[in-house]
Amino acid sequence: MSRFFATGSDSESEESLSFEEAPPKASGGNFKQSLLLSDDEEDTKRVVRSAKDKRFEELTNLIKTIRNAMKIRDMAKCLEEFEQLCRAFLKSKNIVDKEGVPSFYIRLLADLEDYLNQLWEDKEGKKKMNKNNAKALSTLRQKIRKYNRDFEAEITSYKENPQESADEEEEKEEDDSEGSSSESERDDEDGVSAKSFLKKKPEGVSEASKFLKSAKESGDESSSSDDDDDGEGWGEDTEESGSESSGDEEGKSKSLATVFLKKTAGPDRPSIKKSEKKKKIQKVRLEEEQLEGEGEEGDGPWEKVKGGVPLLKEKPKMFAKGTEINTAVVVKKLNEILQARGKKGTDRAAQIDLLHALAAISNENNLGQGILVKIKFNIIASLYDYNPNLAAFMKPDMWKKCLDCIDELLDILFENNNIFIGENIAEDSENLAVSEQQPFRVRGCILTLAERMDEEFTKIMQNTDPHSQEYVDNLKDEGRVCGIIDRLLSYMENKGSTEEICRVYLRRIMHTYYKFDYKAHRRSLGLQGETKSEQDQEESEGEDSAVIMDRLCKFIYAKDRTDRIRTCAILCHIYHHALHSRWYQARDLMLMSHLQDNIQHADPPVQILYNRTMVQLGICAFRQGMIKDAHNALLDIQSSGRAKELLGQGLLMRNMQERNAEQEKIEKRRQVPFHMHINLELLECVYLVSAMLLEIPYMAAHEFDARRRMISKQFHHQLRVGERQPLLGPPESMREHVVAASKAMKMGDWRTCHSFIINEKMNSKVWDLFPETQRVREMLVRKIQEESLRTYLFTYSSVYDSISMQTLSEMFELEIPTVHSIISKMIINEELMASLDQPTQTVVMHRTEPTSLQNMALQLAEKLGSLVENNERIFDLKQGVYGGYFNRDQKGGYQQKQSYQRDQKGSYQQKQGGYQRGGYRNQNQGGY
């Protein structure tokens, strides 16, 4: 018997105990053995490994850490470990040059880059990240893209065939593990290595469980025979090692670890195990690929389908075999389906398919149109509920199904006049069965479904990139949406209430008010003969949008009882008038409605519509030459500096404290779709040109007035920005063009001003966007000539004694009557001190205006006077005299002033006398 078993341990459980748990007792004959054991443990740690194994193990450990960090989205940890990985790979450069880049390293680089790109595209996920993770994400993304350029060929080959790359890696790892096991005699027969465990393949789990099972059986020394080769080999090895340790005295110098480790098997067994393992890996992977390919489409758990034939489970479960299908049975089944609606775990797509199948069954059995209408209502509602998130928009296939279902529902309602639908019909009073005496009565509201469809269309347009072809394709669906609304309008006019008609009229108005009617515009210009196809002729012969808007809006004005619908209709009507240059109708409707008095109490969408209307009104006034009206209409929007946000065309960058994520989502849902936007550059240009035409003559007239006011702060800001520039080159942006034109107008040079305002660049950016481009340009030239004339007279009137109107007419290329009219207005308004000499057609200047030197002297005198007053006031406040005290009291203290006035109610003379005689004390007693 060996000395190991002679230590007095009578139970066999000590064999299975790990030698790492507790040191053996240092008593008697065991003392020497314990010393030997500790020496042996140190010896076992000295394992000779190649440099390649060391470096690759370091890389695999770092890769494992990175993959764990990827699972929990710890970007900071990923960045830190990736930097360490790059340094470790640099240390392994000599080995990599000999062996080649390891495939597991290429796999990590490819996976990490894909993972980072996926995170980067997830906008919602990025917002939820903390600051450190978000910063680490951007840094790591830049580093990995730069780093992967050196491995482009390897990554491309891996992505083209990841299966072969993985197989090659496994073969290489298995060869390495076999080589290391033959050298160190420590690996088991299956060649399980640390790298294979790191990969976490499914087969690794089964091999580990086998290893544990065989170890347990050998530890318990079970005598039962087992078919597993590993278990038999383990038992034989332990018996041999036990006999060797008991028979040989030199076994003391060996460690317990080497005693219990298995020896290498014969030369034939590893090759058999290797081929079996390869077959098993390939089989498992084929099964996984089949499951993934078939499980991508469904939302539920994956199912293994033989032969690729889908299993239709719904039809057999719809009704039991032999059931008589009637209205009551179908309604009961419909209620069963609807009960699962909204519950957790409900498959919404399957629910929609069930409802479609139920509708098909009711059609097959001729159960009547009543039950079909009810099922259609529920199908459309289920399509709307497919996205539980309110901010999410419908997918294209669901959107097409929704439009088709609403069209089919309207077809049924138009074909069957005996179907009555409404929200006020109770579930109990519904009549769905076919009967000749009673009409069908169905609970539901087709108008609500159409309104929800319109909102979904708006959400689709809001969430589509406006510069893509997809946006154009989605916008084509507006024709179908408007067609459905028109059909619903004709249906409601016959069967709907007044309130419902107003609601559907407003939906029609909202799809019409922002569109320019080019056919009506061409008809007004007499260009009707150019239409070619019959379809164009039919459309051109149709009703003008102005007539449609007038009819719908007037009905709402007369019949609507809710302020919101009427307010929206008025604003849309004004917008449409302004868009088609009907300035006076638009202005009168705005003034008569008094909307500007209480619009601040309206909800945000109505306020956005009001802002859009005011902007369109200002642009219309500009086109008509009403420069002052245009400036006044645009002043509020442009002076705020938030035109983009106020018009619902985008969000400004703000601090997170001012607007949290939830508020940002709400504001995004209020945005106007891109095809309804107003060009912000055109809007700013119109405002700045209007401000220039008003501000430059005013500045020239009040050049030396200290109390002159600013008409437009934004225009003055642009002038100051232009003056601050150290190097003045030719203007490039629209603002620079307006500033350069303003400087030319200030000097009275209208030709230079005209060249800066109207040129090819400004035409392409602004003026060509107007419907009547040429008329707008002619109006602008005329206004520039007139305002330049006024500026010239204001600036140089002190230089002239008299000037001929003929000369002014030639300078500014204006007719003499126009020059006469402008100068007469200036004289009447006392802007110009002059008189007209009619026989000689000259303007005689009067020397009543101060010169520039006198103006500067007057300004200096005013400033000195205000400075003296301030000094005296400060001096009085510092003195402790009674007068100063009472001055302070009456100006500063409100309560004391009140009491002092109450004392004066009696008799002022007596009070004054008392004040002189009694002094401060009597005054104080009387006052308080």
Q: What is the Cα–Cα distance from 806 to 814, expressed in whole angstroms?
A: 10
Of the chain, the percentage scoring pLDDT greater than 70 comes to 69
What pLDDT does 527 receive?
A: 64
On the question of pLDDT at 472 being above 50, the answer is yes
Task: State pLDDT tens for residues 874-909.
Answer: 988 877 544 444 444 444 444 444 434 444 344 344
| Averaged pLDDT, 851-878 | 86
Q: How confident is the model at residue 583 (pLDDT cuts 50, 70, 90)?
A: very high
On the question of pLDDT at 28 being above 50, the answer is no
Q: How confident is the model at residue 724 (pLDDT cuts 50, 70, 90)?
A: confident
Residue 558 lies in a domain: no
641 sits in the region (left: phi over 0; alpha: psi -120 to 50; else beta) called left
On the question of pLDDT at 297 being above 50, the answer is no
Q: Which two tokens stand for residue 335?
A: 């209620």
On the question of pLDDT at 40 being above 50, the answer is no
Q: How confident is the model at residue 272 (pLDDT cuts 50, 70, 90)?
A: low
| Averaged pLDDT, 842-851 | 79
CA-based angle 819:823:826, to the nearest 5? Answer: 145
Task: State pLDDT tens for residues 473-504.
Answer: 999 999 999 999 999 999 999 888 899 999 99
What pLDDT does 465 receive?
A: 92
Q: How confident is the model at residue 726 (pLDDT cuts 50, 70, 90)?
A: confident
CB 377 within 8 A of CB 444: yes
Return the exposure string of 94-109: e unless at least 16 CB atoms fall within 10 Å of the residue's CB, then b. ebbeeeeebbbbbbbb
On the question of pLDDT at 685 being above 90, the answer is yes
Q: What is the Cα–Cα distance from 832 to 820, expressed in whole angstroms?
A: 13
On the question of pLDDT at 203 being above 50, the answer is no
Domain that holds residue 699: 679-845
Residue 100 lies in a domain: yes
Task: State pLDDT tens for residues 335-392.
Answer: 888 888 777 777 888 888 889 888 888 888 888 888 888 899 999 998 888 887 777 8
Amino acid at 656: M
What pLDDT does 53 receive?
A: 85
Of the chain, the percentage scoring pLDDT greater than 90 comes to 31
Domain boundary (845, 880, 914) is at: 845
Instruction: Specify the CATH number for the domain of residue 814.
Output: 1.10.10.10
Lowest mean pLDDT among 605-614, 721-730, 820-829: 721-730
Lowest mean pLDDT among 269-273, 310-314, 319-323, 419-423: 310-314
Residue 712 lies in a domain: yes
| Averaged pLDDT, 751-759 | 93
Residue 111 lies in a domain: yes
Which is more confidently placed, 573 or 655?
A: 573
Instruction: Give the highest mean pLDDT range of 130-134, 295-299, 704-708.
Output: 130-134
Q: Which two tokens stand for residue 416?
A: 């069957």
Residue 101 lies in a domain: yes
CA-based angle 602:606:607, to the nearest 5? Answer: 75
Predicted TM-score (pTM) of the model is: 0.60
Instruction: Give the highest mean pLDDT range of 509-513, 531-535, 891-895.
Output: 509-513
Residue 860 lies in a domain: no
Q: What is the Cα–Cα distance from 197 to 209, expressed in whole angstroms?
A: 12
| Averaged pLDDT, 856-884 | 81
Which is more confidently placed, 706 or 592?
A: 592
Q: Is the dihedral of CA 9, 10, 15, 21 positive or negative?
A: negative
What pLDDT does 91 receive?
A: 86
What pLDDT does 283 receive?
A: 65
Task: State pLDDT tens for residues 411-423.
Answer: 998 988 888 888 8
Instruction: Give the highest mean pLDDT range of 158-162, 245-249, 269-273.
Output: 158-162
On the question of pLDDT at 789 being above 90, the answer is yes
Count of structural domains, the chain? 2
Long-range CB contacts for residues 2-10, cutoff 8 Å, separation at least 24: 2/242, 2/245, 2/246, 2/247, 2/251, 3/33, 3/246, 3/252, 4/245, 4/246, 5/246, 7/33
Distance, first Cα to last Cα, the chain: 119
Q: How confident is the model at residue 227 (pLDDT cuts 50, 70, 90)?
A: very low
Residue 81 lies in a domain: yes
What pLDDT does 292 receive?
A: 52
| Averaged pLDDT, 190-211 | 42
Domain boundary (127, 159, 191) is at: 159
Q: Say how many C-beta atoms besides its own lie within 10 A of residue 12's C-beta.
A: 11
Q: How confident is the model at residue 797 (pLDDT cuts 50, 70, 90)?
A: confident
| Averaged pLDDT, 69-96 | 89
Q: How confident is the model at residue 277 (pLDDT cuts 50, 70, 90)?
A: low
Residue 737 lies in a domain: yes
Beta-carbon contacts of 738 under 8 Å, excluding residues fewer than 6 positions away, are 685, 688, 689, 692, 718, 756, 757
Domain boundary (159, 181, 196) is at: 159
